[in-house]
Amino acid sequence: MADEPLVLGIETSCDETGVGIVRGSTLLADAVASSVDEHARFGGVVPEVASRAHLEAVVPTIERALKDAGVSARDLDGIAVTAGPGLAGALLVGVSAAKAYAYALGKPLYGVNHLASHICVDQLEHGALPEPTMALLVSGGHSSLLLSTDITSDVRPMGATIDDAAGEAFDKIARVLDLGFPGGPVIDRYAREGDPEAIAFPRGLTGPRDPAYDFSFSGLKTAVARWIEARRAAGEDVPVRDVAASFQEAVVDVLTRKAVRACKDQGVDHLMIGGGVAANSRLRVLAQERCEAAGIRLRVPRPKLCTDNGAMVAALGAEMVARNRAASSWDLSADSSLPVTDPHVPGAPHSPTHSHPHTHDHVHEISKENLYS
């Protein structure tokens, strides 16, 4: 293990300030500072609030991760950071911090893709990813089917949402039901006591002429909201648990059906599910049932690794180092719409010991004594 790359990863794409440290495929630290409570009163993530929270949390979270891992910053073989996609301001906080640490420590910098990181994190729990692997990524911002033949260089989009992501739909329905934010965990909790067949909610894009691998949850979201409004307008009680269960079943039915179909069509016998919605208990059960029936091996990380975290970024960074991928240039910037076809953002070879005109004046404002601790 000593000769495996030791990499620190920084994740600030949305409302979680995550810092992870891995050695090869072994997780040493996974520190997270969440600002979700600050967004709850708004019913969703506020970009400016998220950016300010990252500014306050990023350095203390890095220090906590180093302490938890029992390593010195000097020992690192590289620093990885989410370069996109995500909220532009939030991403810039992480990228700026990563560049400063990499420069001051004389370490290579790797700007990596948020979606590819969600796939790679499974290596920390279940070992090396088979090549190829089909990945179903479901979160508040993404619902995607991806085919990965090389997680560091070849990730191909098979399908994606054409409107709302699954996580967005969970948040919206939770608001309509007055269950709070974020919606995913609370809908899951209420659904366990409800009847998933109580209400026949629609399954979007599942007709014979619809795209095979794309998703649409806007129509479902609207149908559920109108059903609830109609009950309230008629003075009738809303069966919250049955609504939650029926809505959740409609979402996970479509997700798992299309994922298994993609695996069969592409001749892939492994399916990996990641992203925040992958923590949903019903999604995990139904995916397992359908994969077993189809002869497909299912890989789903434990819930904490499904949500945004620094461990996933460090995992992909370690893979970049292990496979000798080019480090990023000092002019690395955040790209809020970074395509998944770019698992990382390489640049021209550089030496961290030499200044870059875009970073030199800022890097020296940071105390190297603090970075080396």
State the burial class of residue 347 (Cβ atoms within 10 Å of its Cβ: 0-12, 13-18, 19+): middle
Structure-block tokens of residue 352: 């961290």
Q: Cα 15 to the chain's mean position, in Å?
A: 11
- 276: annotated binding-site residue? no
| Nearest-angstrom CA–CA distance, 116 and 154 | 10
Q: Is 114 marked as a binding-site residue?
A: yes
Q: What is the CA radius of gyration of the chain?
A: 21
Note if the bond before 85 is cis, omega within 30 degrees.
yes
Q: Would the annotation count 3 as a binding residue?
A: no
Count of alpha carbons within 13 angstroms of residue 67, beta-carbon side: 8
> What contacts 189, CB < 8 A, 6 or more positions away?
none
Please tell me whether 274 is known to bind a ligand: no
If we measure between CA atoms, which residue out of 201, 216, 177 comes closest to residue 249? 201
Is 280 annotated in a binding site? The answer is: yes
- Which whole-number Å values give the CA distances from 364 to 91, 96, 332, 355, 367, in the listed order? 21, 13, 18, 10, 7
Q: Report the residue count for the chain.
A: 373
Residue 113 assigned as binding residue: no
- Phi, psi dihedral angles at 281 (to 5 degrees): -65, -40
Query: Edge to edge, what strands does the sheet with 344-345 contain?
Result: 26-34, 16-23, 6-11, 78-84, 109-113, 344-345
Q: Is 188 within any annotated ligand binding site? A: yes
**Residue 150 annotated as binding site:** no
Q: Is 137 annotated as a binding residue?
A: yes
Number of Cβ within a 10 Å radius of residue 32? 20
Helix (H) or strand (E) holding 26, with range, is strand 26-34
User: Would the annotation count 167 as a binding residue?
Assistant: no
**Binding-site annotation, residues:** 114, 118, 137-141, 171, 184, 188, 280, 308
**Binding-site annotation, residues for substrate:** 137-141, 171, 184, 188, 280
**Binding-site annotation, residues for Fe cation:** 114, 118, 308
